[in-house]
Amino acid sequence: NAGVTQTPKFQVLKTGQSMTLQCAQDMNHNSMYWYRQDPGMGLRLIYYSASEGTTDKGEVPNGYNVSRLNKREFSLRLESAAPSQTSVYFCASSEAPQGPRGYTFGSGTRLTVV
Amino acid sequence: DAKTTQPNSMESNEEEPVHLPCNHSTISGTDYIHWYRQLPSQGPEYVIHGLTSNVNNRMASLAIAEDRKSSTLILHRATLRDAAVYYCILRDVVQGGSEKLVFGKGMKLTVNP
């Protein structure tokens, strides 16, 4: 099925470890996004990429880096994980940043930092 | 970013219509009204969007007030699978405007069998 694929689905890290969350979409969308969702909260934007080759900070970028590897893939890296980064991470894509249509979201990566 | 206001929660009965309200009194002329929903342990799912006119699709209907300061998502026959958190979001599509979807806490819909 077409959509947004995130890997891994679950991950436990120790404080200070690093990891990369992978995201790929097969809908030929131009724009991709990384959100985090803490318990009982709405989603907050970490970084986004309006088009291949560009990335911009969102609301909560500290502690994260991103790479738009190609049009399909957008990865999120935690260089030195902290317990405050325990969250569910969602990747999303859309046709264009200014387009009126909806985003397609992945099923999420549940990250626990101990 | 223009804000939206939704009730924290609502309850409905299975197979009955349910109207989910959203207030957005500071909406600008270029803001689209988007609705998403998030089922338990899943990512958000696009439901519907509109600008000025009422909209219908296979999932729901969106009724937009004439002054655009409020809107209502209508599920014509609620099912247990419609139990989710619903988000009403404004999205500016003017070049140079906000490119991001800003999610609030949303509204939890409970569907009783």
Q: How far apart are the CA of B83 and the nearest CA of chain A, in angstroms?
A: 16
pLDDT of A98 higher than 90: no
Tokens standing for residue B56 = 């219908």
In chain B, how many H helices and how many E strands?
0, 9
The pLDDT score that the predictor gives to residue B28 is: 87
Phi/psi of residue A3, nearest 5 degrees:
160, -160
CB A23 within 8 A of CB A31: no
Read off the pLDDT of each residue in A61-88 and give the average, rounded to a whole number: 96
Q: Note the Cα B15 to chain centre separation in Å.
A: 20
Least CB–CB distance from A42: residue in B43, B95, B105: B105
Using a CB–CB cut-off of 8 Å, the residues of A that contact B are 4, 31, 33, 35, 40-45, 48, 50, 56, 58-59, 90, 92, 97-108
Q: B25-83, pLDDT tens digit by residue?
A: 989 888 889 999 999 889 999 999 998 999 999 889 999 999 999 999 999 999 999 99
Read off the pLDDT of each residue in A7-31 and give the average, rounded to a whole number: 95
- The answer to whether the CB atoms of B45 and A100 lie below 8 A apart is no
The pLDDT score that the predictor gives to residue B98 is: 47
Read off the pLDDT of each residue in A74-99 and give the average, rounded to a whole number: 90
Q: B90-105, pLDDT tens digit by residue?
A: 886 655 544 567 788 8
Split at pLDDT 50, 70, 90, the class of B87 is very high
More confident residue, B74 or A52: B74
